[in-house]
Amino acid sequence: MKRLTVKKVILILVVAFFAFLSINLGVQYAKLNHMTTLDTGVTEVLDEPPLRGKMNMLLLGVDEGGHRSDTMMVVSVDNVKNEIKLLSIPRDTKITLSNGQVVKANALIGFERREELVIETIKAMTGMPIHYYCEVDFDGFIEIIDVLGGVDYNVPHDMNYDDPVQDLHIHLKAGPQHLDGQAAHDFVRFRHNNKSEDVYAPGEYYKGDIGRIGAQQDFLAELFRQKMQPQYILKASELLDTASKYVRTNFTISSALDFISMLKSTNSTDLESFILPGTDRYENNISYYIYSPSETKKLVLEEFGYPEDEAKKLEESKKTASASPSAESEATSDATDGEDEETVSSADASAKASSTPSAKASSSAKASADSDTSKEPENTRVPVSSID
């Protein structure tokens, strides 16, 4: 069954950025306030954003009824190191709530106190603070891409898929081309070909949702690179009109100004993408993505810098040990004390194999696939209190 994923994330990121540009120019303040429609209780579970350093935004893409969030991504912007990093949460991630109920990550948005539950869960899973929340319906994706003038992109494989039930028909040829809104929509939805095609799941798509996330992260990085340009300030008013129809966020004028200030200090070449470490597994005939708390802790510490006190100690140890590889290895081991050697090695492969989004996604998936699924899984219970 096909589900919409990264288009919703793309819409959020692009719309947010250009909406903030328009604010910086003093354009259409009221419409941003219109987009800020979250319940006041959400602010209680969000963290106070820093003036400098890392700011984390949780991006969700939801279906038309708002009952499923098939896309979850944490965008971390660091205006000190001039970095932007993305952490994708697979939609089938198994979540065990505090009351023992087992759900997939994409179902969290269907509960009461939806935003609070999602935010608390992602914070508990990753150990990262969440400063801002953005939620978007996918309906505006095609319009947004068209307003931006489309995207030049090298489609890696021939893509041919038809689903009459969803009225979804994807037919793209491999090679460099200009994607308008509809073609971009088709690309990010693609997961495999029709069964009649010679190759059912080309390239990395054999990995299912993990393979698709890698392709989507590549697309997102290219979109980001092409559209983070001054000339698109002229599109701010039109983009904001569209954004006001689809985006729910806690951004205010003041916080948006803070965010754009952070974005100005970075550039598109600094964008790195990661996937929550874990592995696919069937349980009771249900397909889950079983995330690894220990590998996630290591990834978040080394790549996203949380917990900050531990990250600071690790950074200082690495600087001190820069001339001594053995000492540096000890510093990393100390920072992840209590984790088994196999887990540390797997997470390191996920985090450090490459600097490109697709390679990082691929290496993360490979590390997950190579783990011994016969071992007793780690405790993945998420200690949130939104559901009793």
Predicted pLDDT at 329: 53
Domain co-membership, 153 together with 62: yes
> For residue 1, is it within any domain?
no
In this structure, are 10 and 133 located in the same domain? yes
The residue that leads in pLDDT, 171 or 72, is 171
266 part of a folded domain: yes
pLDDT-based confidence at residue 229 (cuts at 50, 70, 90): confident
Give the whole-angstrom CA distance, residue 257 versus residue 110.
Answer: 31
Q: What is the pLDDT of residues 9-20, one digit of tens each?
A: 444 454 444 433
Q: Give the pLDDT mean for 136-158.
A: 86
Confidence of residue 84 (pLDDT cuts 50, 70, 90): confident
Residue 62 and residue 185 in one domain? yes
* pLDDT at residue number 131: 93
Q: In this predicted model, which residue has the larger pLDDT, 278 or 251?
A: 278
Average pLDDT over residues 119-127: 95
Does some domain include residue 150? yes
Predicted confidence (pLDDT) at residue 350 exceeds the cutoff of 50: no
Confirm whether 257 is domain-assigned.
yes
Contacts of 148 (CB under 8 A, 6+ apart): 14, 227, 232, 235, 239
Q: Are 77 and 55 in contact (CB under 8 A)?
A: yes
What is the percent of the chain where pLDDT is above 90? 32
Does residue 376 fall inside a structural domain?
Answer: no
In a shared domain, residues 193 and 264: yes
How many CA atoms lie less than 13 Å away from 339 in the CB half-sphere? Answer: 22
Residue 361: is its pLDDT beyond 60?
no
Q: Is residue 385 in some structural domain?
A: no
Is residue 155's pLDDT more than 50? Answer: yes
Phi, psi of 140 (to 5 degrees): -85, 0
Asked if residue 175 and residue 45 are part of one domain, the reply reads yes
pLDDT class of 40 with cuts at 50, 70, 90 = low
| Domain of residue 330, residue span | 293-370
Confidence tier at 188 by pLDDT (50, 70, 90) = confident
Query: Does 349 share its domain with 255?
Result: no
- Same structural domain, 42 and 130: yes
pTM of the model: 0.71
Residues 61 and 202 in one domain: yes
d(CA 310, CA 336): 9
**pLDDT tens sequence across 269-288:** 567 889 999 999 999 999 99
In a domain, 382, yes or no: no
pLDDT band of 196, cuts 50, 70, 90? very high
What confidence tens digit (pLDDT) does each residue in 44-74 have?
A: 899 998 878 899 999 887 766 667 787 789 9
Number of domains the chain is built from:
2
Does one domain contain both 127 and 147?
Answer: yes
More confident residue, 113 or 313: 313
